Amino acid sequence: MPFARCYMCKNMCGIITTVEGKTVRVSPNKNHPQPGICGRGAAGPYLLNHPDRLKSPLIRKGDKLVPTDWDTALNEVVKVLKELRDEGHPEYLAITFHDYGKEILERFANLYGTPNLIGHESVCHGPRTVAAQLVLGAEGPRSIDPDYPNSKFVVFIGRNPLEGIVPDIVRRIDEGRKKGLKIAVIDPRKSAIAQRYADRWIPIKPGSDTAFLLSVIYYMIRKGMYDEDFLRKYSNAGLIIYEDDLTPTGEYSDNLLYEGVKDGRKVATAFKLLEKEGEKVYPRLKDVTGATYDDVEYIAENLWENRPSAAIDDGWHTSFSIDSTYTWMSAFIINAMIANIDRKGGLVFAKKPKVKLYDVSNVKAKKIDKIRYPLTYAAFQEVYRAILTGNPYPIKVLFVVGTNLDGRDPNSELVRRALEKVYLVVVDVMPSEVTEYAEVVLAESTYFERDELPLPVGWSLDGWIDIHQKTIEPIYDTRSLTWIMLELEHRLGLSNETFEDLKKRVLSQLKVDEKELYEKGCVKVYQGDIYEVYPYKERLNTPSGKIEIYSETLKKYGYYPIPTYIEKNIAPRDIDEFYLVSGHTLYHTQDSITFDIPTLIRIQPDNPVMINSKRAQALGIKDNDEVEVISLTTGAKVKCKVKVTDAIREDTVFTYFGFGRHAKGERFAYGHGFDVNSLISDQITDPISGSIAQSLNIVKIRKIVM
Ligand code: SF4
């Protein structure tokens, strides 16, 4: 009975697979720290005999992709990659992916010499991840998470774990609810988590999150709702700053709200300066955010009364606005104010083991997105720009691994132009819009047909490693991503390591017994304390080693070093204009694998625009009417159905992303829904994280009169 991970999305839940006759079945692995399975996962076995799946490598002949053998396909890719290396520019290769395959792709990129392994984060968790690094020194995604089962109050900002689902997170929230966990949701839409769980739903204006959180900070400081001892000891709240140029004096004050004069210049502590940022927006709370003072008090008082077993959730889909990094910095600072960091029921550092599959890096060039956004985690729109303009340097070859850029990235028109121009190699199980632009397609085996390396479990707080074993031999002429990348390494002369060699690397790094791991399927490798490690026993990975309310890194790179609200001049100005916001459906990912599954597309066949009932009435629009949606930022127009609801602000419309499939190879998904990315600009970004301000796009809605 193979132990496996579900790869229907990027969460990689623990499952068990069985074969009965010709049928493969999946069930949750109850002994796994992150057990599956959700509706998408349950549909996974359909992939095996899916009529559309990629059944062999393909190579472009004129305007057609034709089947070929692995030698021909790989040699073609190797020829192109060798040319770049011989030119002395391995950095002209970019690789993009969506979490899956990170370790093996990181290895390949470093051995080959390109820094440009760039994921999807600028449309997802980029701002939250950059803010977590700046304030807490936390490493990358999934490195911190609320301890939901032991928490008494959690605030979700724009995150909706019931649709952007990880089954185990839902289970942990449920466990907390059984013990009395209260939940508040801040979101312009009454999302599934707001409908099912929220004790309070606060429908703030899109793009006003920073103003709301700074107002909470201001209220809490004025009411003395902060743990002075904790902040004094573990944060730079008391760091004294020159107010004229916001440089630090290097001195600390015990009085966290100290103001004075030094060297003839006005000075104040970082905490006092933060209070002043709150003071700038608090009097305008209603105008700027649409929230009430009672909302601010509710959040502040519940966090304070339940401290330290309370948290502002660390968010996930956070690329909303031009100040989203400051939103998440504010959220982490509020968490620190109630001293919940790494405490039971608070915001806990995942004690996750790390693996690295390579020893030396041949990377010499600067990562292309870091040239414009030095602090970004990933800003893939810079790759499109480089393909089309050659600036800041050209990207000539693009590898797309298991992700559909057409469904993922804003400004679809730009995406398509770039894909037409670049030499494109796609590795995937299913065809998608991206496959149609490829020069070479490397057909990947489904997760039932491939072995994977042992890896750390993504969403567990207490340090586990798991395995993934194949259920059956590949049905078609397909290979695993690991095999493909190792084969490219060998043919390029970069290494002669095998799958078994890489497995040994992982097992020796994590000091895990192979026999035990393969018998149990997953093993806990971290044996230390779960709570009260960071910053109590271990320094944080920030320049000061402390929680940074004043960010030395932001200052060094020329940014405003304390969270501040940035005024926006983008807003709907007429009765038929709306903020456009988007999110996850429960049944699909924005990648290539779910939309073309008949059961899933039947359950969620399209993405109507959700519009508030009062505004719909004013515009003469009824449920299911067809409307035209025109983006005032990109100029694109789409037609779609309307869902009239009370569960959204009057000035905002919502839809699910990933729809609008137009690849002929996807027979079940073809023609379903519309592409929200065509309505979203890639030009409005958060200058710190480089993430796309997806909630700052205004659309006009017009009823189509037949
Ligand atoms: S969330 Fe669902 S689809 Fe994603 S890995 Fe887990 S079970 Fe599979």
Determine the distance separating the centroid of ligand 1 and the alpha carbon of 343, expressed in angstroms: 28
602 Cβ contact list (under 8 Å, min separation 6): none
Span(s) in the chain for CATH 3.40.50.740: 58-119+354-445+472-524
Query: What are the φ/ψ torsions at residue 585 (nearest 5 degrees)?
Result: -90, 160
- Closest residue to atom 4 of ligand 1, CA basis: 9
C-alpha of residue 309 to centroid of ligand 1, in Å: 28
Fold topology of 577-683: Barwin-like endoglucanases (2.40.40)
**When comparing pLDDT for 10 and 76, which is higher?**
76
Task: Return the CATH architecture of domain 126-351+533-556.
Answer: 3-Layer(aba) Sandwich (3.40)
**For ligand 1, what atom is nearest to the CA of residue 8?**
3
Contact 274, 216 (CB under 8 A): no
CATH 2.40.40.20 residue spans of the chain: 577-683
Residue 11 Cα: closest atom of ligand 1: 5
Ligand 1, pocket-test mutation among 5, 13, 15, most atoms within 8 A of CB: 13
User: 243 C-alpha to center of ligand 1: Å?
Assistant: 49
Instruction: Using alpha carbons only, give the angle 512, 514, 516 rounded to the nearest 5 degrees.
Output: 85
Ligand 1 atom 7, closest CA = 37
The ranges of the chain annotated as CATH 3.40.228.10 are: 126-351+533-556
At 92-151, the pLDDT tens digits run 999 999 989 999 999 999 999 999 999 999 999 999 999 999 999 998 788 999 999 999
Residue nearest to atom 6 of ligand 1 (CA): 13
641 touches 693 (CB < 8 A) = no
Output the CATH code of domain 58-119+354-445+472-524.
3.40.50.740
Is residue 324 within 8 Å of 686, Cβ to Cβ?
yes
Nearest-atom index, ligand 1, CA of 5: 5
504-538 pLDDT tens trace: 999 999 999 999 999 999 999 999 999 999 999 99
Name the residue at shortest CA distance from atom 8 of ligand 1.
41
The DSSP 8-state label assigned to residue 562 in this structure reads S
Q: In a 10 Å sphere around its CB, with 0-12 CB exposed, 13-18 middle and 19+ buried, how is residue 78 labelled?
A: middle
Nearest to 321 by CA among 569, 120, 610: 569
| DSSP strand pairing (347-349 vs 144-146) | antiparallel
**Residues within a 6 A CB radius of ligand 1:** 6, 8-9, 11-13, 36-38, 40-41, 165-167
CA distance 549 to 552: 9
Where residue 589 falls among pLDDT bands split at 50, 70, 90?
confident
Sort residue 493 into left (φ over 0), alpha (ψ -120 to 50) or beta: left
**Residue 408 clears pLDDT 80, i.e. is over it:** yes
> Token digits for 131?
């803010």
Q: Cβ contacts of residue 134 below 8 Å, gap of 6+?
A: 325, 329, 375, 542, 548, 551, 553, 554
Q: What percent of the chain has pLDDT over 70?
A: 100
Identify the pLDDT of residue 150. 98
Q: Candidates 27, 98, 166, 599: which one to mutate for ligand 1, based on the most atoms within 8 Å of Cβ? A: 166
Q: How far is residue 140's CA from residue 7's CA, in Å, rounded to a whole number?
A: 21
pLDDT tens-digit profile of 241-267?
A: 999 999 999 999 999 999 999 999 999
Structure tokens at 558: 């020329």
Q: Which of 5, 7, 8, 99 to mutate to test the pocket of ligand 1 (most atoms within 8 A of CB)?
A: 8
Residue 11 alpha carbon to ligand 1 centre in Å: 6
Sign of the CA dihedral with 15 first, then 19, 22, and 27 last: negative
Which of 11, 168, 169 gets mutated to test ligand 1 (max ligand atoms within 8 A of its CB)?
11
Counting atoms of ligand 1 from 1, which one is nearest the CA of 166? 1
Tokens of 15: 């499952």
- Distance in angstroms (rounded) separating the CA atoms of residues 632 and 84: 40
Q: Choose among 604, 542, 515, 556: nearest CA to 235.
A: 542
Cα of 350 vs centre of ligand 1, distance in Å, is 20
User: What separation in Å is there between the alpha carbon of 459 and the centre of ligand 1?
Assistant: 12
Spell out the residues 6+ positions from residue 119 whose beta carbon is closer than 8 angstroms to its own: 96, 97, 98, 99, 102, 378, 380
Ligand 1 atom at minimum distance from 9 CA: 4
| Overall average pLDDT of the 41-47 stretch | 95
pLDDT in tens, 449-500: 999 999 999 988 999 999 999 999 999 999 999 999 999 999 999 999 999 9
